[in-house]
Amino acid sequence: MVVSLVFVSAVHGQEPEHGRKYKPLPPTAHITVTVEKGFNNKPLINAAVIFHATRDGHNDGNLEVKTDEDGKAVIDVIEIGSKVTVQVIANGFATSAQDIDVDGPTKELVVKMLRPRAQISGYQDNDGKDAQTKPGVQEPPHPQAVAPATGNPKPAGTPQ
């Protein structure tokens, strides 16, 4: 009885004659966004910083990072040469968005968040006025339930 062993190597899949070629990852930038409160320049903790990247007209997706205790959000995966829309959302503040071009290995951005302002109107001047509604969820007032009377009420038709 003769037993022969055959070894199959997976290394042949990386050889050039098989059509598979190693393509290195594109260079990426180190982007730091610092989020501050506009009225006192203190860092804004736990604000959502959303990165929407496009490169050569193609959507590269959305990435969201929360700010740390220093108000900084750091990301290292966006390709150099991309156009990025940076949107910052925080409770009690107006949403902020701006476009940046990632043209080097590092990019730093400072965003100062403002309180919500009154809506722009063609009928009255609202420039610089605060919003009419307070920040947060706006719900209509709920009716209050009437508390039942205490004691034993007498049934109708009984003498007092």
55: exposed, middle or buried (Cβ count in 10 Å: 0-12, 13-18, 19+): middle
**Contacts of residue 139, Cβ cutoff 8 Å, sequence gap at least 6:** none
The one-letter code for the residue type at 47 is: A
- 33 domain residue, yes or no: yes
Query: How are strands ordered across the β-sheet holding 106-113?
Result: 72-79, 28-37, 106-113
Q: What is the pLDDT of residue 138?
A: 64
Mean pLDDT for the stretch of residues 51-59? 91
| Per-chain mean pLDDT for the chain | 82
Tokens of 96: 């902020």
- Per-residue model confidence as pLDDT tens digits over 4-51: 555 555 555 555 566 667 888 889 999 999 999 999 999 999 999 999
Total structural domains within the chain: 1
Task: Give the β-pairing of 83-89 and 72-79.
Answer: unpaired
Residues shown for the chain: 160
- 37 domain residue, yes or no: yes
- 29 domain residue, yes or no: yes
- 68 domain residue, yes or no: yes
Tokens of 55: 């490169």
Nearest 5°: the CA angle 69, 61, 82 is 85
- 125 domain residue, yes or no: no
Percentages of the chain per state (helix, strand, coil), in multiples of 5: 5, 35, 60
Domain containing residue 54: 25-113
| CATH number of the domain where residue 97 is located | 2.60.40.10
Under a CB-based contact definition with an 8 Å cutoff, are residues 63 and 50 in contact? yes
What phi-psi label fits residue 151: left (phi over 0), alpha (psi between -120 and 50 degrees) or beta? left
- 157 domain residue, yes or no: no
Q: What is the pLDDT of residue 67?
A: 97
Q: What is the pLDDT of residue 60?
A: 87
- 104 domain residue, yes or no: yes
Q: What is the pLDDT of residue 127?
A: 76
Could you give the C-alpha distances from 73 to 30, 49, 66, 136, in angstroms and in order?
Answer: 11, 7, 6, 24
Q: Which residue has the higher pLDDT, 104 or 134?
A: 104
pTM above 0.85, yes or no: no
